[in-house]
């Protein structure tokens, strides 16, 4: 049987994953992606290095395979912006990464100017440098990128799709477009009013096509038939097909998404409304999202910044060596706080230290912070929808930590389920591409391929979980508005 390949272009690396007809991995290749930090708060990628990693992993994977490839799907770090020349294919500037905060002042000026209601009602987003529009505006006003018919402005999926199709296809899908702060999520089109507000020419933006469907073909004739932002792809890969189902991905950041169906909800305080996916001959599906900026990156900081662990794999045993964090709370607001606070001026905070605090307590506090941030988002979601969560499906690198998932279940008081296949982002992209090419016949068939590997139920008394969360919330208040002070 043929396989479907997913290209998963993430923040710290690129993975090419082959998926067979049963939804199981059939081979993979991975390359780490360098990040560049030209100034404090600035984060960039070299677009050519992104493409080189895609080319390398795709070639290595195809060399391993003994079966034909039915389709390729793309999933990508969202909000990151690439500007390139449509004639030569050369990037005009380094890509500005979603974590970048250089446009915080511009967002504040726009909010002070009264533009937040327009942004919220049209896009479901908030005025924050996390999103693409102010990054594009910066490239055009301060990054030396000139407007004109040769300019292509897109997110990473558009760049990879353009390269895969040898410059034939300049397109994106609604799940990525809905993260730019330029896309009208109710009418399914670029908003000229917002493009004018941010100074971004509509002609420089890609066509928006359905998430699942043939976008084009590679030079050797393989269909490229699915494109989705990484978190929406993970929601699909976790088979959260029904309204009310939710997942959390513990990656560089953490992203909680809840399927809210085909009716676009009104803006919800502290949360984002986004397009989950758009399938052929079906209305778009929407999701509520809570975006947490730093979870796995906090573990990396313990390794690279403090040197208290040698490898991310060390965090679990070190955190488990103590029963709790002994009053230590770690708020990893390195790039501000996302949902439900949306405070770009918050900064990382460690409080509650005593002479008895050490490596183990700090490691434990970092693991607990992942669970506490997720609880904050889920509490906001359930308050907004009026429906309690019944289960949280989890994935991402940190989901291997049983300790984390047990703390998460204690905090949420609902089961936390980890699937057999943890590369759910790539899996979702493969499913979306395979659906378009008939590898799978329906979303019901895709949902039937999801298999649970482990389930965690609440064990700690509610009073203990609530007390620890209350300590966390006190620490969050101390981290907020720090940079503006």
In a domain? residue 437: no
- Contact between 7 and 58 under an 8 Å Cβ cutoff? The reply is yes
The per-residue pLDDT of the chain, averaged, comes to: 93
**Residue located via tokens 């499913």:** 431
- Name the residue range of residue 72's domain: 3-231
- Quote the CA–CA distance of 118 and 124 in Å, as a whole number: 10
**Per-residue pLDDT, 252:** 81
Are 157 and 7 in contact, with CB atoms under 8 Å apart? no
DSSP string, 407-421: HHHHHHSS-EEEES-
Asked if 107 contacts 101 with a C-beta cutoff of 8 angstroms, the reply is no
118-138 in b/e burial notation, b at 16+ Cβ within 10 A? ebbebbbbbbbbbbbbbbbbb
> The domain that contains 17 carries what CATH number?
3.30.420.40
The mean per-residue pLDDT over the stretch 228-243 comes to: 94
Q: What is the pTM of this model?
A: 0.88
Instruction: Identify whether the C-beta of residue 344 lies closer than 8 Å to the C-beta of residue 104.
Output: yes
Residue 233 or 485, more confident = 233
What's the rounded mean pLDDT across residues 179-195? 96
CA distance 479 to 336: 9
CA angle 310, 311, 313 (to 5 degrees): 135
**Contact present, 198 and 182 (Cβ < 8 Å):** yes
When pLDDT is averaged across residues 194-216 and rounded to a whole number, the result is 96
DSSP string, 98-147: TT--TTHHHHHHHHHTT-HHHHHHHHS--S-TTSHHHHHHHHHHTS-PPP
Does position 196 have pLDDT exceeding 90, yes or no? yes
Residues paired with residue 44 on neighbouring β-strands, in sequence order: 36, 96
What are the backbone angles phi and psi of residue 458, rounded to the nearest 5°?
-60, 135
pLDDT digits (tens, 9 = 90+) for 28-63: 999 999 999 999 889 999 999 999 999 999 999 999
Residue 187 lies in a domain: yes
pLDDT at 253 over 90: no
**Residue 385: predicted pLDDT:** 82
- Give me the pLDDT at residue 291, please: 85
CA atoms within 13 A on the CB side of 116: 14
Residue 390, in any domain of the structure: no
pLDDT confidence bin for 294, thresholds 50/70/90: confident
- Residue 338 has a pLDDT of 86
* pLDDT reading at 128 higher than 70: yes
Distances (CA, A) of 146 to 84, 141, 153, 236: 10, 9, 11, 37
Rounded Cα gap, residues 242 and 75, in angstroms: 21
pLDDT at 387: 80
Work out the average pLDDT over 5-17.
Answer: 94
- Indicate whether 462 pLDDT > 70: yes
**Kind plus residue range of the DSSP H or E element containing 208:** strand 207-208
pLDDT > 60? residue 16: yes
- If one counts the domains in the chain, the total is 1
Q: Which residues pair with 91 in a beta bridge?
A: 84
Distance CA 72, CA 222 (A): 7
Residue 439: inside a domain: no
pLDDT digits (tens, 9 = 90+) for 140-161: 999 999 999 999 999 999 999 9
Please report how the helices 359-385 and 296-304 are oriented relative to each other, as an axis angle in degrees rounded to 10: 160
Kindly state the tokens that stand for 443: 């979303």
Q: Tokens in use for 455?
A: 């389930």
Beta bridge partners of 101: none
Span 346-350, average pLDDT = 91
Q: What is the mean pLDDT of residues 49-78?
A: 95
Q: pLDDT class for 484, splitting at 50, 70, 90? A: low
Whether 174 is in a domain gets the answer yes
Residue 263 and residue 419 in contact, taking contact as beta carbons nearer than 8 Å: no
35 contacts 77 by C-beta, under 8 angstroms: no
Does residue 244 fall inside a structural domain? no
Strand partners, 285: 277
What confidence score (pLDDT) does residue 415 get?
A: 96
Q: What is the share, in percent, of the chain residues with pLDDT greater than 70?
A: 100
- Does a structural domain hold residue 241? no
Q: Flag whether pLDDT at 485 surpasses 60.
A: no
Q: What is the rounded distance in angstroms from the CA atom of residue 421 to the CA atom of residue 184?
A: 34
Reported as a single tens digit per residue, the pLDDT across 257-280 is 999 999 998 888 889 999 999 998
- Let me know if residue 395 belongs to a domain: no
Question: What whole-number distance in Å separates Cα of residue 358 and Cα of residue 325?
Answer: 10
Residues shown for the chain:
485
pLDDT computed for residue 90 by the predictor: 95
Helix pair angle (462-479, 402-412), 10° resolution: 100
């Amino acid at each position: 049987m043929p396989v479907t390949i997913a290209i998963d272009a993430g923040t710290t690396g690129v993975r090419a994953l082959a998926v067979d007809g049963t939804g199981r991995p059939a081979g993979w290749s991975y390359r780490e992606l360098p990040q560049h930090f030209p100034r404090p708060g600035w984060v960039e990628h070299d677009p050519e290095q992104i493409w080189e990693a895609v080319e390398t992993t795709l070639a290595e994977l195809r060399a391993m395979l003994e079966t034909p490839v039915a389709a390729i799907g793309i999933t990508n770090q969202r909000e990151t912006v690439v500007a390139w020349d449509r004639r030569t294919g050369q990037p005009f500037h380094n890509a500005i990464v979603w974590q970048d905060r250089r446009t915080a002042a511009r967002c504040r000026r726009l909010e002070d100017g009264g533009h937040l209601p327009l942004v919220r009602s049209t896009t479901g987003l908030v005025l924050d440098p996390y999103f693409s529009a102010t990054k594009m505006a910066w490239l055009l006003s301060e990054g030396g990128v000139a407007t004109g018919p040769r300019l292509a402005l897109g997110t990473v999926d558009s760049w990879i799709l353009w390269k895969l199709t040898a410059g034939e296809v300049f397109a994106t899908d609604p799940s990525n477009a809905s993260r730019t702060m330029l896309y009208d999520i109710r009418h399914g089109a670029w908003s000229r009013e917002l493009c004018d507000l941010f100074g971004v020419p509509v002609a420089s933006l890609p066509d928006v096509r359905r998430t699942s469907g043939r976008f084009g073909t590679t030079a050797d004739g393989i269909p490229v038939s699915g494109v989705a932002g990484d978190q929406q792809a993970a929601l699909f890969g976790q088979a959260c097909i029904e309204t009310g189902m939710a997942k959390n991905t513990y990656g560089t950041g953490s992203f909680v998404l809840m399927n809210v169906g085909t009716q676009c909800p009104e803006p919800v305080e502290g949360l984002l409304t986004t397009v989950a996916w758009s399938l052929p001959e079906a209305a778009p599906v929407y999701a509520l999202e809570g975006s947490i900026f730093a979870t796995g990156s906090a573990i990396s900081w313990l390794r690279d910044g403090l040197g208290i662990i040698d490898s991310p794999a060390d965090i679990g045993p070190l955190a488990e060596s103590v029963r709790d964090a002994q009053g230590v709370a770690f708020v990893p607001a390195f790039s501000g706080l996302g949902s439900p606070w949306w405070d770009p001026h918050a900064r990382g905070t460690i409080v509650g230290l005593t002479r008895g605090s050490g490596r183990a307590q700090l490691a434990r506090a970092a693991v607990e912070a992942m669970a506490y941030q997720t609880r904050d988002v889920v509490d906001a979601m359930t308050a907004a929808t009026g429906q309690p969560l019944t289960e949280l499906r989890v994935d991402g690198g940190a989901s291997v930590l049983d300790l984390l998932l047990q703390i998460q279940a204690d905090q949420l008081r609902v089961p936390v389920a980890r699937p057999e296949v943890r590369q759910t982002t790539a899996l979702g992209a493969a499913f979306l591409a395979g659906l378009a090419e008939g590898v799978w016949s329906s979303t019901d068939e895709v949902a039937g391929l999801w298999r649970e590997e482990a389930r965690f139920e609440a064990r700690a008394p509610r009073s203990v979980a609530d007390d620890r969360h209350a300590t966390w919330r006190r620490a969050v208040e101390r981290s907020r508005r720090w940079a503006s002070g």
